[in-house]
């Protein structure tokens, strides 16, 4: 049986292969103080959004966060079935209709080896 893998993706247009049960971790720079935030716009195929959170520098170390400092948007996607899937994220302000940037990842999910 295969071990569950965590596949880290940081570049748009990435295409990767994963097994059912694996997780895709999308890491994108974000500075919420600008009003721009990454949000999941679309997920298709065998992918499901597990979580989306902003990780600030020094988080978990006991250090105080630096005001205005950017962090990383961490979006975790679960591979739940075999097939071809994709996720699209957009960097936008909640009060605007257009986005500043788009991020896409394609995942080819294979069955787990038993």
> Is residue 50 included in any domain, yes or no?
yes
> Is residue 24 included in any domain, yes or no?
yes
The domain total for the chain is: 1
Question: What does the pLDDT look like over 45-69, one tens digit per residue?
Answer: 999 999 999 988 766 666 776 777 7
> Is residue 65 included in any domain, yes or no?
no
> Is residue 93 included in any domain, yes or no?
yes
Residues whose CB falls within 8 Å of the CB of residue 46, separated by 6 or more in sequence, listed in order: 20, 79, 80, 81, 82, 83, 84, 85, 107, 109
| Calpha distance 15→104 (Å, rounded) | 9
pLDDT surpassing 70 at residue 22 = yes
Q: What is the pLDDT averaged over residues 14-19?
A: 96
Q: What is the CATH number of the domain that holds 91?
A: 2.60.40.2020
What is the model's pLDDT at position 38? 96
> Is residue 1 included in any domain, yes or no?
no
Query: Per-residue confidence at 2, pLDDT binned at 50, 70, 90?
Result: low
Residue 30 domain boundaries: 6-58+70-110
> Is residue 22 included in any domain, yes or no?
yes
Q: What is the pTM of this model?
A: 0.86
Task: Mark out the alpha helices in 1-114 (DSSP H runs).
Answer: none
Looking at 3-12, 41-50, 69-78, which range is the least confident one? Answer: 3-12
> Is residue 64 included in any domain, yes or no?
no
Task: Provide φ and ψ at 40, rounded to 5°.
Answer: -75, 120
> Is residue 14 included in any domain, yes or no?
yes
């Amino acid at each position: 049986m295969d071990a569950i893998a965590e596949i880290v993706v940081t570049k748009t247009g990435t295409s990767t292969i994963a097994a059912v049960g694996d997780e895709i971790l999308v890491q994108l720079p974000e500075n919420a103080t600008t009003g721009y935030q990454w949000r999941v716009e679309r997920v298709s195929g065998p992918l499901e959004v597990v979580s989306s959170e902003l990780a600030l520098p020094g988080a978990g170390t006991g250090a105080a966060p630096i005001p205005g400092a950017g962090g990383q948007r961490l979006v975790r996607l679960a591979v739940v079935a075999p097939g071809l899937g994709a996720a699209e994220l957009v960097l936008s302000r909640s009060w605007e209709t257009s986005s500043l940037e788009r991020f896409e990842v394609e995942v080819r999910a294979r069955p787990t080896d038993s």
